[in-house]
């Protein structure tokens, strides 16, 4: 004999499911990026997996392993290598604050800066100010890149979990898709729209934006070589990452580099680099973004910009995909609500 009424049993059942689900989610919170990364890789390699299974007749486990190894060599290893290279260089500069202070002081001796000081009354050569600026730059760089070098174990565990999930997404694709259709509280049209938005966002903001960033980073490196700016490869890699930032992007690299060259007396090289960046680097971005929007994934630029702004703030680098995807899903769900509940 039960002491609970049917309604009480139902309420307790739901409460226990939510409690245990919340506990599991809280315990795995640190590895949610791994789950998201596995979904992104699944979308990128889904068609290849289908081709290997149906056209080539490979077993699902074999095709999944091949895709995992391939993605390691073309995506994960190059990104980690570039990140470690950048991290080491930035942390090296951050650990030499006195040299940075001396370098800033040298730049501020430029006649243009001195004239600006006389007009504004602001003392840029103040030693305490320079030391504080250099210290803040060092703190920011260290906090940004140290986890990449010190968190090797967490990085390895995260990548392992990501590929473990990806393996089962590829091997059990049909069962997982059926489960999604069964458990999501939406009609078939809405679920299909959600799958479509996921694919469009991944293609646009991963494939498309990565291609744009690679081309822009390469052009910045070439520009640094042409105009005799040091560390061309390093700043090209930095430009690759900066290209993911909406609106600002690579000008955060080549504009200051040009201004510094001008302040050091290399007027021709500095002006040439700025003109080169404004004409070639910026316009190739606009051209490629337009072509990708039409050929890869047709997503409104405003969705991408707003999504990246809040996505990166909350989810880090994965926010490049998650942010625009959440905005797209919001619009899909609003449309589904109108279709199912407001139309007569």
Structure tokens at 55: 């056209």
Q: State the pLDDT at residue 104.
A: 56
Mean pLDDT of the chain: 77
pLDDT digits (tens, 9 = 90+) for 266-312: 888 888 988 998 888 888 877 777 676 666 656 666 777 777 777 77
For the entire predicted model, the pTM comes to 0.72
Question: By the 8 A CB rule, do 95 and 138 touch?
Answer: yes
The pLDDT tens digits of the residues spanning 9-28 come to 888 888 998 899 889 888 88
Residue 66: the pLDDT is 92
Task: Determine what percent of the chain is predicted with pLDDT higher than 90.
Answer: 8
Domain residue ranges of the chain, discontinuous segments joined by +? 30-183, 185-344
| Cα torsion angle, 154, 160, 162, 168, sign | negative
Angle at 170 between CA 329 and CA 207, to 5 degrees: 55
pLDDT at 261: 80
pLDDT over 70, % of the chain: 72
Distance, in Å, from the CA atom of 319 to the CA atom of 250, rounded to the nearest integer, reads 19
Looking at residue 118, its pLDDT comes to 65
Q: Where are the alpha helices (DSSP H) in 28-76?
A: 32-50, 60-71
Distance CA 106, CA 260 (A): 10
């Amino acid at each position: 004999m039960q002491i609970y009424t049917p309604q009480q049993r139902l309420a307790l059942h739901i409460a226990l499911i939510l409690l245990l689900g919340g506990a599991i989610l809280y315990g795995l919170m640190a590895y949610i990026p791994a789950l998201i990364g596995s979904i992104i890789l699944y979308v990128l390699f889904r068609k290849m997996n289908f081709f290997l299974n149906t056209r080539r007749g490979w077993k699902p486990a074999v095709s999944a392993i091949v895709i995992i190894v391939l993605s390691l060599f073309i995506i994960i290893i190059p990104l980690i290598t570039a990140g470690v290279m950048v991290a080491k260089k930035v942390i090296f500069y951050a650990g030499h604050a006195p040299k940075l202070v001396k370098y800033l002081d040298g730049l501020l001796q430029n006649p243009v800066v001195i004239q600006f000081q006389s007009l504004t009354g602001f003392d840029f050569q103040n030693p305490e100010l320079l030391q504080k600026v250099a210290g803040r730059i060092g703190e920011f760089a260290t906090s940004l890149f140290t986890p990449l070098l010190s968190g090797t174990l967490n990085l390895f565990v995260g990548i392992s979990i990501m590929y473990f999930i990806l393996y089962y997404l590829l091997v059990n694709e049909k069962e997982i898709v059926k489960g999604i259709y069964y458990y999501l509280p939406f009609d078939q049209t809405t679920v299909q729209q959600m799958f479509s938005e996921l694919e469009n966002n991944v293609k646009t903001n991963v494939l498309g934006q990565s291609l744009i960033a690679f081309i822009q980073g390469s052009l910045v490196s070439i520009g640094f070589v042409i105009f005799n700016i040091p560390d061309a490869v390093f700043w090209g890699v930095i430009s690759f990452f900066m290209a993911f930032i909406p609106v600002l992007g690579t000008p955060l690299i080549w504009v200051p580099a040009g201004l510094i060259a001008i302040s050091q007396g290399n007027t021709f090289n500095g002006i040439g680099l700025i003109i080169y960046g404004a004409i070639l680097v910026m316009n190739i971005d606009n051209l490629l973004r337009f072509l990708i929007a039409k050929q890869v994934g047709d997503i409104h630029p405003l969705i991408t910009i707003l999504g990246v702004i809040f996505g990166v703030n909350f989810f880090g680098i994965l926010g490049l995909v998650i942010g625009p995807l959440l905005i797209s899903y919001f619009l899909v769900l609003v449309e589904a609500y109108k279709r199912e509940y407001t139309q007569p």
